[in-house]
Amino acid sequence: MEEKISRMRELVRILNEAGKAYYSESREIMSNFEYDRLYDELTALEKQTGVILSGSPTQKVGYEVLSALPKEAHETPMLSLDKTKERETLKEWLGTQKGLLSWKLDGLTIVLTYEDGVLAKAVTRGNGEVGEVITANAKTFVNIPLTIAYKGSLVLRGEAIITYPDFARINAEIADEDARYKNPRNLCSGSVRQLSSQITAERNVHFLAHALVKAEGVDFKNSRKEQFEWLKTQGFETVEYREVTADTIEAVVNEFEKRVATYEVPSDGLVLLLDDIAYGESLGRTAKFPRNAIAFKWEDETRETKLLYIEWSASRTGLINPVAVFEPVELEGTTVSRASVHNISVLESFELGEGDCITVYKANMIIPQIADNLTRSKSISIPKTCPVCGAATEIREVGEVRSLYCTNPECQAKKIKAFSLFVSRDALNIDGLSEMTLEKFIAAGFIHEFADIFQLPEHRDSIVQMEGFGERSFENLKEALDRASHTTMVRLLYGLGIAGIGLAGAKMLVRHFKGDLETMRRASKEELMEIDGIGEVLAEAWVSFWGDESNCQKVEHLLKVLTIEPMAQETEEQNLPLAGQVIVITGSLETFANRKELQEWIEERGGRVTAAVTQKTTCLINNNTASSSSKNKKARELGIPVLSEAEFLTQFSEGSEGTERDAD
C-alpha cells in the first residue's frame, strides 16, 4: 500500500510539472502519449488504494473566497507540551518505556476530519479551544489526500509548513525588501489563513501529520508507531520519527541535532511521545500539558560580546529599526556581529547601552538575537531625528509595541525604496535604474516624485557626466523610459507601493473595476471588501492612500506622462466576440506559434482559457480531433465540441461573426 501511494506522489509531481510546462510555459517535457499513460496509471492507483492526493491532476479543487474565516470549537482542548533543554531529563522522563522521537515542527497546527473517506473539515489550532475553519484552503495544500480508503470517522492533527527553499523562492519574487516575509512560520500562517484559497494554493503549503486523535474501528495494537504507519497507508505524510529507549535517546538526539542546519522543514526542537497509547493516556494531563509527551528545545549556543553601538535603519514605510552592532563572535559555526533589536519596546526591555556586555545566540540556530544584557547601563538614546533625512522622529504605539518612525514624507530612505519598487520588473519595468543609480539621481535633485523619472532625459548633460554614465548608458536609459511609458493599469497600481497591494491585489482591483482608476480611487472600504481577495487591512490601506491629497496629485502628474494600455480584463467584456467563452487548448498548433500566443488572442477578445475540461468549457481546441487523449475523452463525455484550430477560428473569429451579423 505504501509503495503504491509513494508511486502516486511521484506521478502527481511528474504530471503537474508536465502540465505547468505545457500550459504556462508553452513547452513540452513529454509527449501526449506518455502523459496519458501516466495519467491512466495514476487513475488506476487511485481506484485501487481509495486515496486521492491533493493536487492530483485527476481532480479539480475549486477555489473559494470568504469574507471572514468562521470559528469553531475543538472537541478536546489542544494543549501545549511541557519543555526541557536537558538530554538527561528526556532519559528520566522516558524511563523504561519505548518512545517516538520526532521533529518539533515550526508551522501552524491543523486538525483534519474525514468522514466516509472524504476530507470534511480543516481547523487551525487557534487558541487551543477555538480555531478557524480553513477547509477550502487545506484542499489546496500540496500533499493532503482529499479522499482516503478508510471510510470511518477520522480526526488527526499535523503541522502546515512552508519549506526553507519555498520561503526563499517566494521572498525572491518580492522586489520590495520591506515587504518580504520575516520567517517561514509567519508566511505559512498568513498563507493558510487567507480568505482566498487561490492565494493559499500558490504558496506550496505542505502538511505533516503528527498525532492521530480518532479512527473508529481500527486496531492500532496499543502503539503510536502503528498509528503513524497506518496514516501513511492512507496517503498522509507524517513527521519524521525514530524509535528510542532511555539507552538510545541521547545518540538519536545528537543525530537530529547534526541535521538541523540542513533540514529543509522549519523546526525548533524535538518531541518525545510515549509509544504505549493506554499507558500514556493513563497519565492524564495537568492544567497546561498532557503527560504522554514532552518537547525538547535545542539549548542555544550563547556567547558574550561587547555592544559597540545601535545602528538605526530607515525603511520605505518610515519605520526606523534598531540594529545591534557588537564585537564579532562565533555562533553555530559562523561569525556574527549584528542582530536586529526589532523595536523600541525590545530595546528598552534590554536596557541597552554602548559598551554593555551582552549575550547573543541564534534563534533556531539561524537568526542572531540578543539573549541578555549583563550590564544594563541603559545609556542608548533614541534618536530625535531620522538618520537619513534629519527630520523629526516620533514613537508610535501599535497594540503594546512601541516603534520609531520618520515623520518626513519626503525622506530619501522612503524615496529610494519606493522608487526602487516603482521601476522593478513587475511594476514599470525600467531597465538601468538600480537603487544606486536612483540614489544618485535623487541626491542630484532630478527625482522628487514618480513622474520625474520620465523627465530624466531633460537632465541629459548632467547625467552623461556622472560616474558610471556616458552617452551610450544615457541612450539606453532613454529607450527604457520610452518603453515603460506605455504600461498597464496593473503595473501602475503595483508600482505605487500602496501598503499590502501586491501584484495579485492590483489584478483583482483592475478586474473588478474594469480598469477605471477614477472609480477605483473613490471606492469605499465596504465596496473594496466585497472584492475576492481584498480584506479589511488592504481596503483600509487603499482608502488611506487615496485619502491623502499629495498622493492623488502625484498620480495625476504621473498619468500625464504615461500611456495606459487597455487590457482584456479592463475592457467591457460583454462587447467582445469571445465574451463568456471558456476554452481549453491542447496539442501542437499550426496558425499560432504556441499555446501562449493563442491564449493571448482569445483573452484579448474576452474569452477565458483554462487547463481542464469541465462542464463550463465551451470547446476544446485540438488539431488531432480524433485523438483518444484524456482531454478529448472528457470533452466527448460532457458533450463539448472538439475543434481543430482552423475550425475554431472559422467558428469564433471576429471576421466570421461579423459576416454572420451582416447576413442577418
Q: Which residues form the catalytic set?
A: 104
Q: Is 221 exposed, middle or buried (0-12, 13-18, 19+ CB in 10 A)?
A: exposed
Q: Look up residue 610 and give its three cell numbers.
A: 483554462
| 184 three-state secondary structure | helix
Yes or no: say if 137 and 110 are a contact pair by the CB < 8 Å rule. Answer: no
CA distances from 601 to 334, 576, 593, 604 (A): 54, 12, 12, 5
Q: In angstroms, rounded to a whole number, what is the distance separating the alpha carbons of residues 147 and 152?
A: 12
Closest among 574, 649, 566, 644 to 607, alpha carbons compared: 574
Q: Are 205 and 142 in contact (CB under 8 A)?
A: yes
Sheet holding 619-621, edge to edge: 608-610, 582-585, 619-621, 642-643
Contact yes or no for 236/221 (Cβ under 8 A): no
Does residue 242 contact residue 252 with C-beta atoms inside 8 Å? yes
- For helices 645-652 and 654-663, the axis angle rounded to 10 degrees is 40
Listed in sequence order, the residues at least 6 apart from 582 whose beta carbon sits closer than 8 Å to its beta carbon are 607, 608, 610, 614, 616, 617, 618
Q: If we measure between CA atoms, which residue out of 62, 54, 56, 168 comes closest to residue 110? A: 54
The three cell numbers locating residue 309: 553601538
Question: By the 8 A CB rule, do 573 and 587 touch?
Answer: no
Residues near 472 by Cβ (< 8 Å), separated by ≥ 6? none
Give the C-alpha separation, 193 to 200, whole Å. Answer: 8
As a whole number of angstroms, the distance between CA 141 and CA 124 comes to 14
**Long-range CB pairs of 27-34, under 8 A, 24+ apart, other chains included:** 32/586, 32/587, 32/627, 32/629
Q: What is d(CA 271, CA 209) in angstroms, rounded to the nearest whole number? A: 13
* Whether 125 contacts 131, CB under 8 Å: yes
For residues 360 and 302, is the Cβ–Cβ distance under 8 A? yes
Tally of CA atoms within 13 A in the half-sphere of 510 that contains its CB? 23
Q: Which residues pair with 294 in a beta bridge?
A: 272
Q: Is 145 exposed, middle or buried (0-12, 13-18, 19+ CB in 10 A)?
A: buried
CA atoms of 554 and 118, how far apart (whole Å): 53
Q: State the DSSP string of 353-389.
A: -TT-EEEEEEETTTEEEEEEESS----PPPPSB-TTT
The DSSP letter of residue 312 is E
* Cα distance between the two ends of the chain: 63
If one counts every other C-beta atom within 10 angstroms of the C-beta of residue 532, the result is 16
